[in-house]
Amino acid sequence: MGFRNDDDKKAYWKENLSLLTKLLIVWFVVSFGAGILFADALNAIQFFGFKLGFWFAQQGAIYVFVALIFVYMAKMNALDKKYGVDEE
């Protein structure tokens, strides 16, 4: 058993799921939101030489994806340490 007690196990999983939910909301908003559903509306906004919706669909969403994974990595490593379930 990796955890000190059952409460810790539940709390760890809850924090994990809440982090996951937040990050997946961002994932959805930048790609399916800004890049697809609201792309037409955002295209009215000029961002350098791009229309904003087009930029999210072909550039911006990908940058955010990369950032999301590294944020997840850092937060999860900290969470593992907090509950003493990290790999030595």
**Residues forming the site for other proteins (CB under 8 A):** 2-3, 9, 12-13, 16, 20, 23-24, 27, 31-32, 35-37, 39-40, 43, 47-51, 54-55, 57-59, 61-63, 65-66, 68-70, 72-73, 76-77, 80, 83-87
Q: Which residue has the tokens 């490593």?
A: 77
Q: How far is CA 11 from the centre of its chain?
A: 20
Instruction: Give min distance, CB of 47 to other proteins, in A.
Output: 7
Instruction: Give min distance, CB of 60 to other proteins, in A.
Output: 10
Q: Which is nearer to other proteins, 5 or 36 (CB)?
A: 36
Q: Which is nearer to other proteins, 7 or 87 (CB)?
A: 87
